[in-house]
């Protein structure tokens, strides 16, 4: 992996013909330290957001020791990189073989579930010679609202709080530690999302009358994008802390969270080249089948900047993008605000792609990623601001 100070240095020095991923380990380190120091419990990284080995190691070096893995491939990946990490298999529906390998080969002891069928599967897969495991942490996933979030996760998984009592009681019998987990959706724009979800946790606990050892509030912690500027994360943590403290749980219970986007978004941006311009549409060399899946399919607006050796004096205007494939679906509807004099041959840095950018990339139509370069400048949008003090960069917590 090469190193350069910023996108301009890459554009001028290398004149790349393929997209270049710019990674910023210092940004991931800063985000990890923020959660470790501010969140009132255990923070575990949701690997699905970005499974880059370099990022995973950077988060470990920053102090993240717990990882939310959602497949046996993610289990193998993280265990191979970090032999001493704590892995939590938080996908509520898993293959029995995946459960068995995770438990018996990779030392996974925490699993989520949302049905009696899944509970039976976990109990059977983790048994040894017909004897049930006695060291399981089992988290029952509740279905909660995603109304405060930009992307819903309310349909596929989870059991309603009012229906959860039989499952919680059965899981209590099988588990050494019983947990309740939920996910408010991706990019939660209000702390109220967690307050409402924790109220549902209370309903479920009271109805079941069980002792709960873990409350996992999942992910959803927001990053900053154009048109999406949530309040400071401190406010989210305060709401979660108040809601958790009011729950009827074990005196020794633990509070967990699963940030994915919030730990990885600022880690990477992508430098793309303009191949053609047609009025207010730019044809670029990355797109819907590459790192811009979210821009195409859920109309996500990422920050963009013209990268050119001389500053443009043109006014900005809104552009849309076509990606490099032959598919009409390879389209990112704007507005992406850029100088009006942008033309073929110019470069654009697209920011905040550390979350789900590289993770969603395919090789469709033969278009793949180019080089990866370490950048030392600050990300284009940041929830973890910096200021200058005595010639050293200091975290300014929002």
pLDDT per residue as tens digits for the range 235-261:
999 999 999 999 999 889 999 999 999
Regarding pTM above 0.85, the answer is yes
Q: Which fold has domain 91-257?
A: TIM Barrel (3.20.20)
HSE, side-chain direction, 13 A CA sphere, residue 183: 26
Cα–Cα distance, 10 to 346 (Å, whole number): 13
Exposed e or buried b per residue across 328-338, where buried means at least 16 C-beta atoms within 10 angstroms of its C-beta = eebbbebebeb
pLDDT tens track for 90-125: 999 999 999 999 999 999 999 999 999 999 999 999
SS3 sequence of 313-359: CCCEEEEEEECCCCCCCCEEEEEEEEECCCCCCCEEEECCCCCCCHH
pLDDT given at position 229: 86
What confidence score (pLDDT) does residue 1 get? 62
- Residue 385 pLDDT class (50, 70, 90 cuts): low
pLDDT at position 2:
66
Q: Is residue 396 pLDDT above 50, yes or no?
A: no
Consecutive H or E run containing 12: helix 7-14
In angstroms, the CA 330 to CA 316 distance is: 24
What pLDDT, on a 0 to 100 scale, did the predictor assign at position 219?
95
Cα dihedral: 101, 102, 105, 106 (round 10)? 160
Higher pLDDT, 86 or 311: 86
Q: Where are the domains of the chain?
A: 2-22+265-387, 91-257
Query: Which residue has tokens 């100088």?
Result: 339
* DSSP assignment letter at 47: G
- Cα gap 360→268, rounded to integer Å: 14
* CA of residue 52 relative to chain centroid, distance: 12
Question: CA 223, CA 151: separation in Å to the nearest integer?
Answer: 13
The CA distances from residue 215 to 112, 191, 337, in Å, are 12, 17, 42
- Which pair of structure tokens corresponds to residue 200? 């549902």
- CB of 31 within 8 A of CB of 17? no
Give the pLDDT confidence of 197-208 residue by residue, as tens digits.
999 999 999 999
Q: Which two tokens stand for residue 339?
A: 């100088």
Q: What radius of gyration do the chain's Cα atoms show?
A: 22
pLDDT digits (tens, 9 = 90+) for 335-381: 999 999 999 999 999 999 999 998 999 999 999 888 999 999 999 88
Residue 387's pLDDT band, with cuts at 50, 70 and 90, is: very low
Percent of the chain beyond pLDDT 90?
A: 84
DSSP assigned state of 305: E
283-341 confidence digits (pLDDT tens): 999 999 999 999 999 888 999 999 999 989 999 999 999 999 999 999 999 899 999 99
Whether residue 397 has pLDDT greater than 80: no
Q: Supply the CATH classification number for the domain 2-22+265-387.
A: 2.40.37.10
- Percentage of the chain beyond pLDDT 70 is 95
Q: How many CB atoms lie within 10 A of CB 98?
A: 17
* Per-residue pLDDT reduced to its tens digit, 141-181: 999 988 887 887 777 899 999 999 999 999 999 999 999 99
With contact defined as beta carbons under 8 Å apart, do 224 and 303 qualify? Answer: no
Per-residue confidence (pLDDT) for residue 284, from 0 to 100: 98
Q: Is the peptide bond before 246 cis (omega within 30 degrees of 0)?
A: no
pLDDT, averaged across the chain: 93
Maximal C-alpha separation, the chain:
74
């Amino acid at each position: 992996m090469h190193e350069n100070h910023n996108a301009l240095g890459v554009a001028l020095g290398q004149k790349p013909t393929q997209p270049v991923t710019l990674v910023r380990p210092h940004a991931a380190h800063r985000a990890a330290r923020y959660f470790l120091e501010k969140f009132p419990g255990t923070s575990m990284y949701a690997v699905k957001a970005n499974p880059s080995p370099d990022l995973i190691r950077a988060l470990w070096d920053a102090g993240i020791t717990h990882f939310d893995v959602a497949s046996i491939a993610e289990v193998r990946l993280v265990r191979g990189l970090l032999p001493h990490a704590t892995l939590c298999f938080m996908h509520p529906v898993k293959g029995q073989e995946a459960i068995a390998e995770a438990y018996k080969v990779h030392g996974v002891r925490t699993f989520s579930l949302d049905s009696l069928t899944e509970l039976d599967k976990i109990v059977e897969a983790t048994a040894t010679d017909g004897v049930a495991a006695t060291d399981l942490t089992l988290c029952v996933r509740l279905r909660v609202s995603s109304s405060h979030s930009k992307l819903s996760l309310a349909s596929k998984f989870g059991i309603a709080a009012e229906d959860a009592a039989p499952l919680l009681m059965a899981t209590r019998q099988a588990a050494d530690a019983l947990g309740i987990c939920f996910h408010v959706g991706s990019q939660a724009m209000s702390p109220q999302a967690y307050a409402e979800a924790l109220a549902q946790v209370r309903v479920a606990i009271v109805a079941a009358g069980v002792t709960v050892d873990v409350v996992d509030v999942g992910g959803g912690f927001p990053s900053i994008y154009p048109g999406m500027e949530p309040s400071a994360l401190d406010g989210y943590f305060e709401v979660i802390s108040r809601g958790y403290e009011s729950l009827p749980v074990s005196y020794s219970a633990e509070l967990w969270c699963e940030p994915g986007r919030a730990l990885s978004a600022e880690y990477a941006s992508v430098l793309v080249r303009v191949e053609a311009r047609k009025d207010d549409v730019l044809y670029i060399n990355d797109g819907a089948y590459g790192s811009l899946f979210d821009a195409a399919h859920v109309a996500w607006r990422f920050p963009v900047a013209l990268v050119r050796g001389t500053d443009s004096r043109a006014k900005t205007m809104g552009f849309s993008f076509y990606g490099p494939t032959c598919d009409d679906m390879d389209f990112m509807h704007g507005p992406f605000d850029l100088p009006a004099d942008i033309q073929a041959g110019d470069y654009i840095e697209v920011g905040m792609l550390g979350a789900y950018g590289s993770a969603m990339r395919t090789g469709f139509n033969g278009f793949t990623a180019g080089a990866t370069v370490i950048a030392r400048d600050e990300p284009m949008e940041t929830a973890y601001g910096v200021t200058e003090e005595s010639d050293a960069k200091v975290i300014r917590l929002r």
